[in-house]
Amino acid sequence: MNNKFLKLKGFTLIELLVVISILGVLAGLIVSNMAGARERARDAQRKSDLKEIQNALEMYKQDQDAPLYPTAAEFKTVLESEPVYMKEVPEDPLGGWPPYFYETADQTDYTLRACLENASDPQGIEAETSVCESGKKFELNAP
């Protein structure tokens, strides 16, 4: 057998290490970008949930003799009971914490609020960091 054939087979250790390190860097970049995408997706879900709750609140108000919104204490029960405005009032995608906030002072208006994970969200409003870890929240008020 000729020695030329033995030298041409396979890759050198250096070539393998270079390829493995390049793949490692690429994998790290992809994983870090995926984490941000998940945060943005959960924030989009939060915004969608609040808009659905807002629609249910408006339907509830239209059905009342005196056009008022529910109190904060009865909010969830009223939307889920007969007539059903929402089959189930949604909770935060991370298991309900931090929760969605519903506040009403005199039942003629309200504020719905959710904490956002993405601190650079263009629709985010400054929030207390003790409540919202990212320091940003999303709010909807009565139309």
pLDDT string in tens for the chain (143-residue length): 555 555 667 788 898 999 999 999 999 888 877 778 888 899 999 999 999 999 999 999 999 888 899 999 998 998 998 888 999 999 999 887 778 999 998 999 999 999 998 888 888 888 877 788 888 999 999 88
CA dihedral of 114, 49, 90, 35, whole degrees rounded to 10: -70
Q: What is the pTM of this model?
A: 0.75
> What whole-number distance in Å separates Cα of residue 127 and Cα of residue 132?
6
Query: Which tokens is 128 given?
Result: 């207390």
